[in-house]
């Protein structure tokens, strides 16, 4: 916070978020509010993963639509398996991370070794993962892990009110993830990865093996997304092999909303913005559903759950286009 504007803006943002949350808590009711926060935090991991691929590596990666349910199915299958070692929720979540890394490596290999266009490479992996995810579930697309051990058990002794338990744990895990990523992206290796995404020609001229960085970044990105899936299974109580559709859009929404609301360049602020953006997105989504709609004469309009896709897409498009519009209007 060297810059006073940064400090003031941050304070305003935090106060506004606090005030808005208080109003929303009242309007949505405690259960729906905390549920939205919880899902927002789970998808915060997706936001961090998408930040790595989309922003750091400049690699639009649809693999996440497959690696999110992959993480969920791996964790659910291991928890149901009940093995004393592999059935441990922390070990299972770690295995989900590794599985996600492998998915990312496949996409990276398709792109780096076989020169398949990044978008297409990731679509192919995502498509193939559907089969893998069903194999993981032993043919069942839906696994219930309600009442089984989960990472949330670690909070048992803390004595928080039930609404706060899962969000608190998720927040702690996210702070650890953001801390590790901030450290990583400011090392020589991490800086090389950022250069790979910004200017690959310059990166190679400085001796940075760009291909190797794409492998590492894609693995890390999809590993984080799979951890998000694994935590989703443990907090929601089920895993669904078909639940991945739109994961990339949620991740993009998180990254872009975060950037728009916290427009600063510091790495940890950008990363925290992804989580913040994810939570804001979930609250907005929940609010849209809660809205009673408007009536003009006899014809009424109310937001249906099925309308959320087009609303989300519009928000993402708007956030992507807004910076262009700004420079376009300035050039007039």
Partner 1 sequence: MITVSELEVVFGQGTPLEKRALNGVDLKVKDGEFVSIIGSNGAGKSTLLNAIAGDFPPSRGTIEIGGRDVSGWSTARRAAWVSRVFQDPLAGSCADLTIEENLALAAARGTRRGLKRALTPRRRSTFIQRVAELGLGLESRLKDRMALLSGGQRQATALLMATLSPSQALLLDEHTAALDPGMAEFVIELTRRIVADEGHTALMVTHSMSQALSVGTRTIMLHEGKIMLDVSGEERDSLTVEDLVAKFRQMRGQSLDDDKLLTS
Positions touching partner 1 (CB under 8 A) are 184, 186-192, 194-195, 198-199, 201-210, 265
Nearer CB in complex with partner 1: 12/198 = 198
List Cβ neighbours of 142 (8 Å cut-off, separation of 6 or more). Answer: 238, 239, 240, 241
**Whole-number minimum distance, CB 212 to partner 1, in Å?**
9
Nearer CB in complex with partner 1: 194/282 = 194
Nearer CB in complex with partner 1: 186/309 = 186
**Whole-number minimum distance, CB 227 to partner 1, in Å?**
20
Supply the DSSP string of 29-80, one letter for each residue.
-HHHHHHHHHHHHHHHHHHHHHIIIIIIS----TTHHHHHHHHHHHHHHHHH
How is residue 297 written in tokens?
């004469």
Nearer CB in complex with partner 1: 159/207 = 207
**Whole-number minimum distance, CB 1 to partner 1, in Å?**
14
* CA dist., res. 257 & res. 270, Å (int): 11
**Whole-number minimum distance, CB 190 to partner 1, in Å?**
7
**Whole-number minimum distance, CB 186 to partner 1, in Å?**
6
List Cβ neighbours of 153 (8 Å cut-off, separation of 6 or more). Answer: 89
Strand 299-301 versus strand 142-144 pairing type: unpaired
How is residue 204 written in tokens?
């190679």
Residue 144 CB neighbour total at 10 angstroms:
14
Strand 238-240 versus strand 299-301 pairing type: unpaired
**Whole-number minimum distance, CB 55 to partner 1, in Å?**
10
53, 252 in Cβ contact below 8 A? no
Nearer CB in complex with partner 1: 18/323 = 323
Torsion 44-49-54-58 (CA) sign:
positive
**Whole-number minimum distance, CB 140 to partner 1, in Å?**
41
Nearer CB in complex with partner 1: 191/308 = 191
DSSP state of 53: I
* CA dist., res. 227 & res. 209, Å (int): 27
Nearer CB in complex with partner 1: 32/191 = 191
How is residue 277 written in tokens?
């953006």
* CA dist., res. 170 & res. 151, Å (int): 10
């Amino acid at each position: 916070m060297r810059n006073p504007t940064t400090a003031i803006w941050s304070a305003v943002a935090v106060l506004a978020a606090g005030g808005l949350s208080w109003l929303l808590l009242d309007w949505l009711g405690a259960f729906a509010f905390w549920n939205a926060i919880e899902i927002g935090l789970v998808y915060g991991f997706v936001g961090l993963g998408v930040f790595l691929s989309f922003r750091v590596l400049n690699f639009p990666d649809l693999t996440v639509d497959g690696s999110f349910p992959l993480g969920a199915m791996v964790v659910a299958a291991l928890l149901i398996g009940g093995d004393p070692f592999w059935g441990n929720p922390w070990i299972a979540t770690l295995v989900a991370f590794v599985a996600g890394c492998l998915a990312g490596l496949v996409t990276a290999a398709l792109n780096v070794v076989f020169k398949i266009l990044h978008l297409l490479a990731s679509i192919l992996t995502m498509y193939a993962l559907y089969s893998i995810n069903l194999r993981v579930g032993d043919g069942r697309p839906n696994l219930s892990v309600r009442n089984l051990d989960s990472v949330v058990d670690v909070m048992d002794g803390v004595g928080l009110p039930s609404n706060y338990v899962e969000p608190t744990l998720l927040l702690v895990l996210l702070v650890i993830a953001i801390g590790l990523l901030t450290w990583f992206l400011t090392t020589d290796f991490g800086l090389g990865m950022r250069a790979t995404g910004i200017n690959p020609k310059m990166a190679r001229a400085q001796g940075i093996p760009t291909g190797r960085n794409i492998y590492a970044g894609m693995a890390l990105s999809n590993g984080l997304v799979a951890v998000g899936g694994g935590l989703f299974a443990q907090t929601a109580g089920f895993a669904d092999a078909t639940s991945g559709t739109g994961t990339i859009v949620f991740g993009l929404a998180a990254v872009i909303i975060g950037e728009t609301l916290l427009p600063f360049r510091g790495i940890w602020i950008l990363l925290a913005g992804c989580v913040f953006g994810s939570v804001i997105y979930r609250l907005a989504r929940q609010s849209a559903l809660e809205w009673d709609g408007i009536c003009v004469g006899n014809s009424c309009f109310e937001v249906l759950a099925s309308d959320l896709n087009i609303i989300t897409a519009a928000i993402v498009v708007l956030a992507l286009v807004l910076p262009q519009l700004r420079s376009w209007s300035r050039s007039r």
